[in-house]
Amino acid sequence: MRIAAYNIENLFDRPRAMNLNTWQDGKPILEKFAKLNALLGETTYSAAARTKMANLMIELGLERSDEAKFVILRRNKGGLLKRPNGGGIQIIANERADWVGSLELREEPIDENSMRNTARVLSELDADVVGVIEAESRPALRDFNKLILPAVEGTPFRHVMLIDGNDTRGIDVGLLCREGYPIASMRSHVDDQMPNGENLFSRDCPEYVVETPKGNRLVILVNHFKSKGFGTPAQSDARRKVQAQRVAEIYKGLIDADEQYVAVVGDLNDTPDSDPLKPLLANSTLRDAFSHSAFDDGGYPGTYGSCSEANKIDYLLLSPALMAKVTKGGVIRKGMWPGVRPKKWDVYPELQDKRDAASDHAAVWVDVDI
């Protein structure tokens, strides 16, 4: 059977702020959105918090309307703010209970060529079990599977599952499985918390138990760790390390419960030699599929962007028993922008421009005899 992981970077819709030319362009918008959302979610609103809210709303383009270019403020009930005739915003709510509503990122459709190239990658991947990262919802994943895969002569998956996670941007993790590989059970860790009460996982760390035609059980944990793009490097590193420690605990619990075949897959947003990933890569029995003698990295050590060694952030981490069953593995980069001087790798004919790229990430896979 073939196990794979692929960061698909959304299928149909993506927040406008994440769909700009580069992630650096959208970073200030997303940071302000996160700060305002956190303030709006507080139980009580201090005078200082109300001032910050008003300033952030203005910076996000909400001074004259609840609908701005990148965000929407939904006010369903109660009183949150006033907009004086002379301009500015006045927060009139004293606590979260004073109003009902939400702050949301505005979305726009993904480029059609990009979407079809994502389908081409999944079709060429021909995996039996795929951990997908950055899918906006189960309905979107289901519709993509039913409508877009067949449009590029791909075969739809039999099972499509995604558990809604903690990220408000619609970038969750899920699982696709072929006929003969049913999901026997699943367990979410979306409510795991850090000591300060914050959610531990940026999205979730779902455990899926997949049954194979040979009667074996594969436990697959799909992950998307905290990125380096938001917050200070120290804060981001600390968050990824806590996430890695928790995944290592979950993995150890599975091994102690006599599960043999366990895979931790996904976008861990850091390199193999990084301190945040040590709990998984140095202090557990998990092994990176890239280190297997039968794994072909296609001439590049990384999986993201330019695919340099510093961009090796997508993983298939396997338990010893599962690693022993690997027969081969590899990387598919044909949906990634290859650069121009010179082009680094072959791509699909339909990928003529950077905006046509299926993803900034490569798909990674291994064949295992279980």
| pLDDT surpassing 80 at residue 110 | no
User: Is the model's pLDDT at 24 over the cut of 70?
Assistant: no
Average model confidence (pLDDT) across the chain = 92
> Looking at residues 116-145, what average pLDDT do you find?
93
Q: What percent of the chain stands above pLDDT 70?
A: 94
pLDDT score of 20 more than 70: no
List, for residues 310-326, the tens digit of each pLDDT value.
999 999 999 999 999 99
> Which CATH class for the 2-12+111-368 domain?
alpha beta
Q: Please give the structure tokens belonging to residue 107.
A: 């979305």
User: Of residues 103 and 4, which shows the higher confidence score?
Assistant: 4
The letter for the amino acid at 20 is L
* Residue predicted with more confidence, 343 or 211: 211
- CA–CA distance from 307 to each of 22, 116, 240, 326, 345 (Å)? 17, 22, 21, 23, 10
pLDDT higher than 90, residue 113: no
Tell whether the model's pLDDT for residue 111 goes beyond 70.
no
pLDDT tens track for 245-293: 999 999 999 999 999 999 999 999 999 999 999 999 999 999 999 999 9
Domain ranges within the chain, ordered by starting residue: 2-12+111-368, 23-107
- For residue 164, pLDDT over 90 is answered with no
pLDDT at residue 355, as a whole number:
85
Q: How confident is the model at residue 21 (pLDDT cuts 50, 70, 90)?
A: low
Which strands sit side by side in the sheet containing 129-135, from one edge to the other?
A: 159-162, 172-177, 129-135, 2-7, 363-368, 326-332, 295-296
What's the confidence (pLDDT) of residue 342?
A: 86
For residue 109, pLDDT beyond 60: no
Q: Write down the pLDDT at residue 13.
A: 63
Q: Which residue has the higher pLDDT, 323 or 37?
A: 323
Q: Give the pLDDT confidence score for residue 14 in this predicted structure.
A: 64
Q: How confident is the model at residue 43 (pLDDT cuts 50, 70, 90)?
A: very high
In order, the DSSP letters of 269-334 are SS-TT-STTHHHHTSSS-EEGGGSTTEE-TT-S-SBTT--GGG--EEEEE-HHHHTTEEEEEEE-T
